[in-house]
Amino acid sequence: MTKIAITNVTIFDGSGTPPYAGEVLVDGNRIVSIAQQGNYLETGDARIVDGHGAFLMPGMTEAHTHFSWNDQPSLSAIQFMPPEEHILWCVRVAKRYLEMGWTSALGAATAKPRLDVVTRNVIEAGAFPGPRYLAGSQEITTVGGLGDNTLPHLPFEEMNFGAVCTGPEDMRRIVRMFAKYGVDHLKINLSGEYIAGIPAENNPFSQEEIAMLAAEAKLAGKRVCAHARSNESVQECIKHGFEIIFHASYADEKTLDLLEANKEKHFVAPGIGWLINTLYNASEYGITEEVATQMGYKRELEAASATLTEMHKRGIRILPGGDYGFAWMPHGTNARDLEYLVKYVGMTPMEALLSATKLGGELMMRPDELGQLKEGYLADIIMIDGNPLEDLSLLQNPEKILMVMKDGEIYKNARTLLPPRGIIRSIYRGNPLAEAGARKTQATDPMNSKQPLEVQRQRDH
Ligand SMILES: [Zn+2]
């Protein structure tokens, strides 16, 4: 197995303790030891990545991902991409996420039935690079609901962004179909969405349909994610134990009490970037601030900011990510969410980083081995040029993301991968100055150093 030691770094380990100087040793796909505060590790035959003082942190988790969204300005435009191009798009986007430091992601609904499942499978098989991925179903919706994109004179199911449910029995069929396809979780649109012409506070599903989803998901052993902007829809999530709540903008005091009482069960991925960017950043596509305000997005952003701030105070788990892949918030810019969590939700930069790392491990259902830099944990590690705790926007800049390791494998590295230092250590033991000199010599000796792996630049935005 490959051993890699990452030396000379400031370590943010995702536990909540302040960053410290240190070194990390990876063996195979696990972190085997961490040295703190200037101590050295016995790195043996490990190859070395010298961080030159860079910031090392756990890879991030995107909690509400749509790989199949193709940076278009409408759901129909996304859906019109033919399946062959669409799956290629998905694997290409997955690589982009990984290179931007997202080593895990949770699929928040796919535009065609099997895109998410196939993308997850080819990543897991090692055929294409991408984050660890939990695959979602299509958005389950109602006739005329968010994601029913057919036109009266063109009633072709293939035009639909979502899986359109026509009653409790049809819900049973839909859940079983997606379970057959191998999804990790189901996704339901419990509330409306202004841009689709359906007010956010609409609740289109019947009680019978929602109860059927809950029962069938339980039988299939699948978690449920819900697009839930209205107060009632968040209440339904709590009532039925739907684990992952998207948006939650209009949850009222009573609903927050219920959520707080059940906070060990639920994650909230608000995707607040969608509200902000649709309101302030979509005028190029005809959605000026005035238009977006008329739609309802200003009112919703104000409500969401107040609700989420209160939620955060109550210790409810809020995670970054959501609805990137639209024209005015393209894939790869997802780390904007960390700044939004500070500005609109009242998190400290430390809390925002923890929500992207430690909470990510919990969301991925691997809290004991993912989301932190700890001995025994999976080696999902990123290296940043600069300190994100002082400037979270560094995480939006591909050139500042110096190294990405997932499962012990390096996918991106702007540093030199050096040969083992064990021999140097034994020669110069006890003489740090000589050792530093020797390491420098080693790094610049063309016979000993390998070419740095190419830094993949973001070309698309
Ligand atoms: Zn979404």
List, for residues 20-73, the tens digit of each pLDDT value: 999 999 999 999 999 997 788 999 999 999 999 999 999 999 999 999 999 999
Share of the chain above pLDDT 90, in %: 85
State pLDDT tens for residues 160-218.
999 999 999 999 999 999 999 999 999 999 999 999 999 999 999 999 999 999 999 99
Q: How far away, in angstroms, is 394 Cα from ligand 1 center?
A: 25
Find the 187 Cα to ligand 1 centroid distance in Å: 10
The overall average pLDDT reported for the chain is: 91
Task: Choose between 394 and 322: higher pLDDT.
Answer: 394
Burial category of 386 from C-beta neighbours within 10 Å (exposed 0-12, middle 13-18, buried 19 and up): middle
Residue 460 predicted with pLDDT over 80: no
Burial class (CB in 10 A: 0-12, 13-18, 19+), 364: buried
| Residue 421, pLDDT score | 78
Separation of 425 CA from ligand 1 center, angstroms?
Answer: 52
Dist. CA 64 → ligand 1 center (Å): 6
Q: What pLDDT, in 10s, does the model give residues 426-435?
A: 444 444 444 4
Helix axes 297-313, 272-280, angle to 10 degrees: 150
- Whether 176 and 220 have beta carbons less than 8 Å apart is answered as yes
User: Phi and psi (nearest 5°) for 188?
Assistant: -125, 145
What's the mean pLDDT in 83-108?
A: 98
DSSP-derived secondary structure for 351-416: HHHHHHTHHHHHHTT-TTTSSS--TTSB--EEEESS-TTT-GGGGG-GGGEEEEEETTEEEEESS-
Place of tokens 């026509």: 166
Ligand 1 mean position to 348 CA, how many Å?
Answer: 25
Nearest to 397 by CA among 388, 408, 389, 409: 388
The predicted pLDDT at position 23 comes to: 96
Consecutive H or E run containing 134: strand 132-134
Q: What integer pLDDT is reported at residue 124 of this predicted model?
A: 98
Tokens of 212: 């059927």
What is the rounded average pLDDT of the residues 351-369?
A: 98
The whole-model pTM stands at: 0.90
Mean pLDDT along residues 391-401: 98
CA of 215 to the centre of ligand 1 (A): 23
